[in-house]
């Protein structure tokens, strides 16, 4: 069980001229055990920065991030992180990439049956001995997901892991992520630009404003699983999220 709490968090950066940039402002969010939170907002609103703060890769100027009442000050194995491009070791096979964390912890005595289970779960059977450059982008992302989830993290952070994939592969990886979430009940936080993806996966959707990034609204997803992207209910909820993001409503003078 894991409880993530973000309290009054502000993050400030400085550009090359030393000018102050307010990236995140007064962020407050509570995430319960087993939730799937989708964070969506325009480019530059601080979504990835927020994920880095949760992971411990970055620290806020003010406010705090806690997991189970423990202050997050550095990365920890209990918080898995999947990057947009997977970051697999190119010199290792798919199987060795997936088992890398287990080997680091347990040495030669790591659980090979567990690795087999995740190879099967991710649809990678038959590609265990292939190298990352020999498989598709979707397969590489599934391997990266397996490498993180096999370590049994309490919290899995997903930084646009489907962002570089084509539409068909993206939908396939979304289904894999959903299946893993349902089976493991791992708390997951996803950053995405894709409204459909946020709705398809998330139990709640965090809508952020343009920079400085603030949480405009947290919306509970009313759609039951399994979700149909073509259903009237899905499309209606999609329009509601679009309205909250203010799509297409900026004056022309602000877009040129």
Tell me the per-residue pLDDT of 127-160, one tens digit each, with 9 for 90 and over.
999 999 999 988 998 899 999 999 989 999 999 8
Residue 38 clears pLDDT 70, i.e. is over it: yes
Q: What CATH code is assigned to 4-86+154-254?
A: 3.40.50.300
Tell me what the mean pLDDT of segment 59-67 comes to. Answer: 95
What whole-number percentage of the chain has pLDDT above 70?
A: 95
Residue 254 clears pLDDT 60, i.e. is over it: no
Asked if residue 56 lies in contact with residue 76, where contact means CB atoms within 8 angstroms, the answer is yes
Average pLDDT, the chain: 90
Residue 256 clears pLDDT 70, i.e. is over it: no
Whether the predicted model's global pTM rises above the 0.85 cut: yes
pLDDT tens digits along 187-221: 999 999 999 999 999 999 999 999 889 999 999 99
């Amino acid at each position: 069980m894991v409880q993530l709490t973000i309290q009054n968090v502000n993050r400030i950066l400085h550009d090359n001229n030393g000018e102050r940039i307010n990236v995140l402002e007064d962020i407050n969010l509570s995430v319960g055990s087993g939730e799937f939170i989708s964070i969506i907002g325009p480019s530059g609103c601080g979504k990835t920065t927020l994920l880095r703060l949760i992971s411990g890769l970055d620290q806020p100027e003010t406010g705090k991030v806690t997991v189970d009442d423990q202050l997050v000050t550095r990365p920890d194995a209990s918080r898995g992180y999947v990057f947009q491009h997977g970051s697999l070791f190119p010199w290792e096979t798919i199987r060795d990439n997936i088992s890398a964390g287990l080997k680091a912890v347990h040495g030669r005595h790591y659980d090979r049956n567990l690795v087999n289970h995740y190879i099967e779960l991710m649809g990678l059977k038959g590609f265990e001995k292939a190298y990352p450059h020999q498989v598709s982008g979707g397969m590489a992302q599934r391997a990266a997901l397996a490498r993180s989830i096999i370590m049994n993290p309490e919290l899995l952070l997903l930084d646009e892991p489907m962002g570089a994939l084509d539409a068909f592969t993206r939908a396939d990886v979304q289904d894999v992520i959903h299946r893993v979430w349902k089976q493991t009940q791992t708390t997951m936080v996803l950053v995405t630009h894709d409204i459909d993806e946020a709705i398809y996966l998330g139990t709640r959707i965090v809508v952020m404003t343009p920079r400085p990034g603030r949480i405009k609204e947290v919306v509970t997803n009313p759609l039951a699983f399994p979700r149909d992207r073509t259903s009237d209910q899905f499309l209606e909820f999609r329009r509601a999220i679009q309205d909250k993001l203010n799509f297409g409503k900026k004056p022309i003078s602000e877009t040129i």
